[in-house]
Amino acid sequence: MTTFLLIRHGRTGWLEEGRLQGWVRGVSLSENGRWQATRLAQRIAALPLVAIYSSPLDRAVETAQIIADGRGMQVTVEDALGEIRVGELEGRYVKDLDASDPFWREYRAHPAAVRFPGGESLSQVQERAVSLTERLRAEISSGAVALVSHADVIRTIVAHYMGINLDHIHRFRIDQASLSILKLEQENAALSTLNCTCHLEAE
């Protein structure tokens, strides 16, 4: 059995401003985001990891590196874990899109049916993310693997293995620095944890 720790990166300044990050380079973790990633690393410190994979985007790599540093491990970057490409909407403020953009309203209502202008569809994201998960499942027959990625990427992976239509993936939350645990064994899949953020609660 292969256990996948599906980890969303910590908070960024752009998230705090309500902007779509997409594949913008140089968007780093905020001070709060680094704290979140540190708490997450502490939360999973007792879990033995055999590998850590990350989206190539700075915010994810930084989160993965915080996890890796405490273990003396290397982070392997995989484009397949990168955020959905939002194309022409990159850098836009969500509040502005909510108020005036018909595409955004369609995406929120029927996400499976649309493709971001100049970007990707959720089905394309799911195809690349699940393809990587299946490859790692075949290569690593036992042990735990950390996949550090983004909310919609994690949602598409969960949706695939839980048989959830992509139109419904915004019905469950994937918060910053959250942990979801997916266990894959031969033809069976079990989601044992979804969007755990208990490590971020005040002590």
Q: Are 81 and 30 in contact (CB under 8 A)?
A: no
Range of the domain at 111: 2-200
DSSP state of 143: E
Q: Are 96 and 150 in contact (CB under 8 A)?
A: no
Helix (H) or strand (E) holding 136: helix 122-139
CATH number of the CATH domain containing 45: 3.40.50.1240
> What per-residue confidence (pLDDT) applies to 32?
95
> Based on the structure, what is the number of domains in the chain?
1
pLDDT in tens, 152-190: 999 999 999 999 999 999 999 999 999 999 999 878 899
- Which parts of the chain have pLDDT scores under 70? 202-203
> What per-residue confidence (pLDDT) applies to 203?
53
Q: What whole-number distance in Å separates Cα of residue 39 and Cα of residue 35?
A: 6
> What per-residue confidence (pLDDT) applies to 151?
96
pLDDT in tens, 95-108: 888 878 888 888 88
Q: What whole-number distance in Å separates Cα of residue 139 and Cα of residue 76?
A: 15
